[in-house]
Chains A and B, each alone.
Chain A
Amino acid sequence: MTKMALAVDRMETPLARLGALFPAEGGHRTILMAALGLLSVLVLWQAIIWLFSVPIYLVPSPIDVAGAVSRDIGLLASSAVPTIVEALLGFVLGNTVAILVAVSFVYAKPVEEMFYPVAILIKTIPIVAIAPVLKIMLGNGIEPKVVVAAMICFFPTLVNSVRGFRAVNPQLLELMRVLSASKTEVFLRVRVQSALPYIFAALKISVTMCVLGAIVGEWIGANEGVGYLLLQSMYQFDTPRLFATILTASFVAIVGFAIVSMVEKWVIRWDPGSSV
């Protein structure tokens, strides 16, 4: 008994800490209301399918989708793995480049004046249109998927990082001047921290976008992954599995979002809204 209690204790401690990263106040109510909303949508959906006798190959009912999830759980999981790898690599690549470019923009005005329009131009090209070009350039492997995911992450992080690196209290810069701080010291001790809330806001957007990027990359040529499974299910008119695959993609994005949010809470322990 004691051993078991100890084991439970050990299990609960990290979980409790994990829980502490989410807002506790009114947290239960938030979750309850969200669950209630979701449940009512599902009930309505099921009712419409039953009432109008919608055939399963057109739109499956929530019960059919749940059945597909439990039946194909292995397939869904194994398809998620390559997509997660592509999305993660794209996330790291896109955001790293974006932050480095942002630093160069902040410290060299001519670089910003020359390349900001280029960045906007890249942003305006629909990612679906550029994917085939990347396939021709980079082949059928993981590379084009990673690049598509990276490109989709790049712009929001670039814009937010530039804003963040500039969002320094001007009096703080005057203080650093009085203290004869070097440019590097100002960057490492003031600008980085001032930019972190902005960068994390962008990371939360791009972590969900990079999953989309990986799926788009898979659509133009892949034999595994969530994007591939979506196309397969569509061609086979297996709509329950199609919906289950969509759920998988959405689940991956939500988990990514939750991880970034937790890292944000862990890194930004101060109140970024307070001006002190």
Chain B
Amino acid sequence: MRATAVAPATGQGQETAGVAIGIDNVAVTFGGGAGKIRAIDNATLDVREGEFLTLIGHSGCGKSTLLRVVADIIDPTEGSVSILGGSPAAARKARLFSMVFQQSVLLPWATVLDNVRLPFRVGGGVRGGADAMDPMEALRLVQLEGFEKALPSELSGGMRQRVSIARALVTRPRILLMDEPFGALDELVRDALNVELLRIWKQSGMTIVFVTHSLHEAVFLSQRVVVMSRRPSRIADILEVELPEERGLELKDAPELGRQVARLRAMLDAG
């Protein structure tokens, strides 16, 4: 079941064109001795350039951990990750990727505009400055113009998450890593943001790696859904989503989406 969709791992010196992220035999172990936990057990996966890929699995299956390995927040215990041909650390320093977290993770004392500008103010700012986006344009992209002077506490949860997406987009990253970004929002807001995210993805041509535990969300957004199993924490299966390219809100209730969700559920149960 597993093999067909998984491209072979990209080893050193191999052709990496078309691969945005190469995850090669990555394992992560936390702790030592008797309390040792193997959070990820030999995951291998290639994420294609320009692809919208979602990682899904039961809680504790290591999907967020895998995303953190890619983001160079956690070092893998075994295996390696390459991002656009380089190391995750090099990609991080070159601002090739941005990350959106489950919470909006804004500075509560800074205005919306200052939060969006944060990537320019720390870590030596942005490399190749001309590429960067005007923060106001980033706010327009997430439909928050007029709120630039507001403090995060004055915004709703959905608006705060939009600010964090604007902050992620402002550096014009080639890859966007999203760790359950809409998990804490109510369904209506989540649906609206799903549609907006697809629009932004289409406009930008970015590669997006998305983590969620919502089957509907995974199918609605993605071209491919990677199913992770629990104990051992591995990539169990991959669903190639067979849905039209243009996806609007009406698709959320369409029977074809339901059929894909059912397939995904079967994969999860098997994993």
What is A's interface to B at a CB cutoff of 8 Å? Answer: 169, 171-172, 174-182, 185, 189-190, 193, 268-272, 274-276
* Pair B73/A271 contact, Cβ less than 8 Å: no
- List residues of B (87-145) whose CB comes within 8 Å of A's CBs: 92-93, 95, 97-99, 101-109, 118-119, 121-124
Q: Which of A169, A181, A269, A272 contacts B123 (CB 8 A)?
A: A181
**Per DSSP, are chain B's interface residues mostly helix, strand or loop, or mixed?**
loop
| Pairs across A and B, CB under 8 Å, 14 listed | A169-B105, A174-B68, A174-B71, A174-B73, A174-B99, A174-B101, A174-B105, A175-B105, A179-B118, A180-B123, A185-B121, A193-B107, A269-B109, A270-B151
Q: A180-B93, A181-B122 are known contacts; what are 9 more A-B pairs with Cβ within 8 Å?
A: A169-B103, A169-B105, A171-B105, A174-B99, A180-B92, A181-B123, A190-B107, A269-B151, A276-B105
**Per DSSP, are chain A's interface residues mostly helix, strand or loop, or mixed?**
loop
Q: Which of A177, A193, A271 contacts B153 (CB 8 A)?
A: A271
* Pair A177/B73 contact, Cβ less than 8 Å: yes
CA distance A128 to B107 in the complex (A): 44
Q: Which of B98, B106, B123, B124 contacts A276 (CB 8 A)?
A: B106
CA distance A276 to B97 in the complex (A): 22
Contacts of B68 in A (CB 8 A): 174
Q: Is B230 an interface residue (CB 8 A)?
A: no
Contacts of A177 in B (CB 8 A): 72-73
Chain A residue with minimal CB distance to B111?
A: A270
Chain B nearest Cβ from A243, distance in angstroms:
44
* Pair B153/A276 contact, Cβ less than 8 Å: yes
What is B's interface to A at a CB cutoff of 8 Å? Answer: 68, 71-73, 92-93, 95, 97-99, 101-109, 118-119, 121-124, 151-153, 160
Chain B residue with minimal CB distance to A192?
A: B109
CA distance A172 to B118 in the complex (A): 12
Q: Which of B92, B103, B106 contacts A178 (CB 8 A)?
A: B92
Provided the pairs A179-B119, A189-B122 are in contact, do residues A276 and B160 lie with their beta carbons within 8 angstroms? yes
Provided the pairs A189-B121, A270-B153, A276-B152 are in contact, do residues A178 and B98 lie with their beta carbons within 8 angstroms? yes
* Pair B103/A171 contact, Cβ less than 8 Å: yes
* Pair B108/A271 contact, Cβ less than 8 Å: yes
* Pair B105/A172 contact, Cβ less than 8 Å: yes
CA distance A193 to B153 in the complex (A): 15
Contacts of B93 in A (CB 8 A): 180
Provided the pairs A179-B119, A181-B123 are in contact, do residues A189 and B107 lie with their beta carbons within 8 angstroms? yes
CA distance A183 to B102 in the complex (A): 24
Contacts of B107 in A (CB 8 A): 172, 189-190, 193
* Pair B151/A185 contact, Cβ less than 8 Å: no
Q: Which of A178, A189, A190 contacts B71 (CB 8 A)?
A: A178
A-B pairs with lowest CB-CB distance, top 10? A180-B123, A181-B122, A276-B152, A271-B153, A185-B122, A274-B153, A270-B109, A270-B108, A171-B105, A179-B123
Contacts of A185 in B (CB 8 A): 121-123
Contacts of A274 in B (CB 8 A): 108, 152-153
* Pair B102/A171 contact, Cβ less than 8 Å: yes
* Pair B108/A182 contact, Cβ less than 8 Å: no
* Pair B98/A272 contact, Cβ less than 8 Å: no
CA distance A181 to B101 in the complex (A): 17
* Pair B101/A171 contact, Cβ less than 8 Å: yes
Chain A nearest Cβ from B96, distance in angstroms:
11
Contacts of A190 in B (CB 8 A): 107
Contacts of B124 in A (CB 8 A): 180
* Pair A175/B153 contact, Cβ less than 8 Å: no
Contacts of A171 in B (CB 8 A): 101-103, 105
Contacts of A271 in B (CB 8 A): 108, 151, 153
CA distance A272 to B101 in the complex (A): 20
Contacts of A176 in B (CB 8 A): 122
Contacts of B105 in A (CB 8 A): 169, 171-172, 174-175, 276
Chain B residue with minimal CB distance to A190?
A: B107
Chain B nearest Cβ from A75, distance in angstroms:
46
Chain A residue with minimal CB distance to B122?
A: A181
Contacts of B122 in A (CB 8 A): 176, 179-182, 185, 189
Provided the pairs A180-B92, A193-B107, A276-B106 are in contact, do residues A175 and B101 lie with their beta carbons within 8 angstroms? yes
Chain A nearest Cβ from B152, distance in angstroms:
4
CA distance A23 to B57 in the complex (A): 48
Chain B residue with minimal CB distance to A175?
A: B105
Chain B residue with minimal CB distance to A188?
A: B122
Most buried by B among A179, A180, A276: A276
Provided the pairs A174-B73, A178-B92, A270-B151 are in contact, do residues A276 and B119 lie with their beta carbons within 8 angstroms? no
Chain B residue with minimal CB distance to A180?
A: B123
Contacts of A174 in B (CB 8 A): 68, 71, 73, 99, 101, 105
Contacts of A175 in B (CB 8 A): 99, 101, 105
Contacts of A179 in B (CB 8 A): 118-119, 122-123
Contacts of A193 in B (CB 8 A): 107-109
Contacts of B121 in A (CB 8 A): 185, 189
* Pair A272/B99 contact, Cβ less than 8 Å: no
